[in-house]
Amino acid sequence: MSTTTLITDIGSLVTNDPALGDGSPLGLVRDAALLIEGETVAWVGPARSAPAADTVRDAGGRAAIPGFVDSHSHLLFAGDRTEEFNARMSGRRYEAGGIRTTVAATRAASDAALEANLLRHLGEALRQGTTTFETKSGYGLTVHDEARAVEIAARHTEEVTYLGAHIVPPDFADDPAGYVALVTGEMLDACAPHARWVDVFCEKGAFDGDQARAVLTAGRAKGLTPRVHANQLGYGPGVQLAVELQAASADHCTHLTDADVDALASGSTVATLLPGAEFSTRAEWPDARRLLDAGVTVALSTDCNPGSSFTSSMPFCLALAVRDMGMTPDEALWSATAGGAAALRRTDIGRLTPGSRADLALLDAPSHVHLAYRPGVPLVTDVWRRGRGAV
Ligand code: NIG
Ligand code: FE
């Protein structure tokens, strides 16, 4: 039998199972305890009826939440884009073309440097409560550089996305069709064994609807499930294409028509909102309220990348979503945990219920509401991942 750890005296515990708690979508249990057995949650309930355990940890009245599920990041890169950020803060607009700066730095970096950079950002994220993350290739854009990106990523997460279609690289500037052929051919063959997802940046200046469809259907034929960078910088076909192809998620969703919202509401595709990008590009906020009111499943993620959103902090993104996107603190917490799990089609994470993975964070606060109420304050004090103390 695996060893057991009881975390007791939890002031408020978010389970994300309405049946377990107070009936709210967060399934809140007050004065709670949680039993970990091996890598999974074995029991949750009121502290007064908790079972015995090998080890007992007193949470001292703190709040406990499921570990954050960051379902959208770009962590296989080298270099940074401080100058571009500086220029933007002096009034220059964000453009997709900045990606080329990172492509050059990434191609020039060794495998060891790329992996060290990835680990540095994963450490940051973990200390802020992220226990699951998805990450993408997309700054290599050659067969060799994309393949090494997904290989390195797969050493550290099962949620790896092939994003060879991030932008047409300068070496193919005169032959975008040739680049799409590479992305859907030799590059896909090299990357598919290491990835679970295929993604495309469907946007003016990147890939149009037809090109995006070609990339996603080719990926699907190789066993990858689509997710789409859609409607970030302007209106476009990305969201409706994502729904049509039953993509797991349409990401960004900043510029949506009523037809886009209707499509999301009628399909199974999660809308993943990335407020770090709007913060850092000074763009208008995605309207989370509109999506939630239409019945769309919404996830929140960091989009951590050196260009448009250089933050690994889920608490920061959650605070932005509450302050500027019309989400309540409860909705934002749900979207950053259970919503992220839905965007990754996972049922074992993003919740704290018997049988789920023992991925959780303790907050130096009486409830999860403080994540938005006290923005920028490092509230995460302890993190367990797969049942083991990680922070
Ligand atoms: O999700 N939108 C495309 N890709 C990234 C930006 C990448 C970059 O600027 O380096 C994003 O925001
Ligand atoms: Fe992104």
Residue 347 CB partners (closer than 8 Å, separation 6+):
341
Cα 11 to ligand 2 centre (Å): 36
Q: Is the dihedral of CA 222, 268, 41, 312 positive or negative?
A: positive
Q: Output phi, psi for 194, to 5 deg.
A: -105, 0
pLDDT at 21: 87
For the Cβ of 232 lying below 6 angstroms from any atom of ligand 1, the answer is: yes
Please indicate, yes or no, whether the overall pTM of this predicted structure exceeds 0.90.
yes
Q: How many CB atoms lie within 10 A of CB 200?
A: 31
Q: HSE, CB side, 13 Å, CA atoms: give it for residue 239.
A: 29
* Diameter over CA atoms, the chain: 69
Residues with CB under 5 A from ligand 2 (ion): 303
199 annotated binding-site participant:
no
pLDDT at 219: 98
CATH at residue 61: 2.30.40.10
pLDDT at 118: 98
Residue closest via CA to ligand 1's atom 3 equals 201
Ligand 1 atom index nearest CA of 232: 2
Query: How far is 248 from 231, CA to CA, in rounded Å?
Result: 16
State which residues of the chain have pLDDT below 50.
Answer: none
Closest to 165 in 3D by CA, of 228, 249, 237: 228
The total of structural domains in the chain comes to 2
pLDDT at 22: 86
Considering the domain architecture, whether residues 59 and 194 belong to the same structural domain is answered as: no
Considering the domain architecture, whether residues 25 and 96 belong to the same structural domain is answered as: no
Ligand having the closest approach to the CA of 280:
1
Ligand 1 atom index nearest CA of 229: 2
Q: Across the beta sheet with 270-273, what order do the strands follow?
A: 135-136, 160-165, 197-202, 225-230, 249-252, 270-273, 298-300
H helix or E strand, kind and range, residue 45: strand 40-46
Considering the domain architecture, whether residues 55 and 73 belong to the same structural domain is answered as: no
Considering the domain architecture, whether residues 376 and 230 belong to the same structural domain is answered as: no
pLDDT at 95: 84
The torsion of the CA quartet 151, 350, 219, 257, rounded to 10 degrees, works out to -130
Considering the domain architecture, whether residues 248 and 332 belong to the same structural domain is answered as: yes
For the Cβ of 297 lying below 6 angstroms from any atom of ligand 1, the answer is: no
Host domain of residue 62? 4-67+350-389
Residue closest via CA to ligand 1's atom 11 equals 308
CATH at residue 253: 3.20.20.140
Considering the domain architecture, whether residues 60 and 83 belong to the same structural domain is answered as: no
At residue 16, the 3 state secondary structure works out as: coil
Considering the domain architecture, whether residues 157 and 271 belong to the same structural domain is answered as: yes
pLDDT at 270: 99
166 annotated binding-site participant:
yes
Contact 259, 266 (CB under 8 A): no
Q: How far is CA 84 from the centre of its chain?
A: 24
DSSP state letters, 232-257: SSS--SHHHHHHHTT-SEEEE--S--
Considering the domain architecture, whether residues 63 and 34 belong to the same structural domain is answered as: yes
Q: Give exposure, 71-84, as e/b (b: 16+ Cβ within 10 Å).
A: bbbbbbbbbebeeb
81 annotated binding-site participant:
yes
Residue for token digits 């797991």?
248
Residue for token digits 């606060």?
365
305 annotated binding-site participant:
yes
State pLDDT tens for residues 6-40: 999 999 999 999 999 888 999 999 999 999 999 99
Considering the domain architecture, whether residues 147 and 125 belong to the same structural domain is answered as: yes
Q: Locate 129 and state its tokens.
A: 């409560």
Considering the domain architecture, whether residues 31 and 137 belong to the same structural domain is answered as: no
Residue closest via CA to ligand 1's atom 5 equals 308
Considering the domain architecture, whether residues 209 and 354 belong to the same structural domain is answered as: no
Considering the domain architecture, whether residues 213 and 311 belong to the same structural domain is answered as: yes
For the Cβ of 102 lying below 6 angstroms from any atom of ligand 1, the answer is: yes
72 annotated binding-site participant:
yes
